[in-house]
Copies of this chain bind each other. A is one copy, B any other.
Amino acid sequence: VTSERDRGLLLGDGLFETVLWDGGRPVRFEAHADRMARGCALLGLPRPLAGDLLGAAEAALDEAGLRASRAAVRLTWSAGEGGRGLDRPGASAPRLLASAAPAPKPEGPARLITAAVRRNEGSPASRVKSLSYIDSVLARAEARAAGADEALMLNNRGEVACAAAANLFWVRDGRLFTPDLACGVLDGITRAAVIAAAERDGVASEVVRAARPVLDGAEALFLTNSLIGVRPVSALDGARFGAHPLVQRLAVAAG
């Protein structure tokens, strides 16, 4: 149970991570703990101890009976109570919450539409996993209403940013591209793993600021996040994309 005075609830003031558990072990747990610590520095909150995050995750898995399953653990680090309106208290006392749920693999490639809702490239909160997620909720709802699985989000400059709950990559002229974090993009853990895997594959990833039409010339698109790994995109705004050997290799290497 959570206090009704919790700033996470009242103001979306806090952070979260979603960690995949597979075969009884967390995937890239340290990277999640590190990212939450960086988010805390950016938002001005005390950081959680990595050991506390792990303990809470394991307790949530045990409670849900999912310790040996493919499961998603949601770790929430709320700013806690106190302060006056927007102003934080003199000393923040964040609260840690954890929950676990089964994490089935996604069913095949994703169909995307471009959402009307934009990412806020002018806020540092767009580059961390803050609790203020309404823009992504609205973008996803747009996609669902259009019969799609996920939304492509542009920023206010019209640049390609990411999906509602995933990073985006594309292949064009045999080269691999993903938007710069300055486009208002979460510093994705699987995004970094894909960039590293591509480099081992001899493919340099190009981190770019590019407007929406760049995707019209793409040979392949794919999404990444900690739960889906690498998920190919089969359609964007009606344009279709087939399987691509580089995407298949990266799915194996970084998924």
Contact = CB atoms under 8 A, between A and B. Distances in A.
Copies in the complex: 2
B74 A10 contact: yes
Interface of A: 1-13, 16, 43-44, 74, 76, 78, 85-88, 97, 99, 117-125, 130-138, 140-141, 144, 154-157, 164-165
Contacts of A119: 120, 122
Given A11-B133, A86-B136, A133-B11, A99 B155 contact: no
Given A12-B130, A13-B133, 13 more contacts: A9-B76, A10-B74, A13-B134, A43-B137, A86-B164, A117-B122, A121-B156, A122-B156, A123-B138, A125-B138, A130-B134, A131-B132, A132-B132
Nearest to A117: B123
A9 B11 contact: no
Contacts of A131: 9-12, 132, 134
A129 B108 CA distance: 37
A162 to B, nearest CB: 13
Nearest to A151: B86
Max chain B CB contacts within 10 Å: which of A11, A16, A97, A140? A11
A76 B5 CA distance: 11
Contacts of A136: 11, 86
A125 B118 contact: no
Contacts of A88: 137, 141
A99 B137 contact: no
Contacts of A10: 16, 74, 76, 131, 133
Contact of A9 (B8, B144, B164): B8
A87 B120 contact: no
Contacts of A120: 118-120, 122-123, 135, 156
A137 B13 contact: yes
A12 B134 contact: yes
A8 B10 CA distance: 8
A11 B9 CA distance: 9
15 contacts: A1-B1, A1-B4, A2-B2, A9-B131, A12-B12, A12-B130, A43-B137, A87-B141, A87-B144, A119-B122, A120-B135, A125-B135, A125-B138, A131-B132, A156-B156
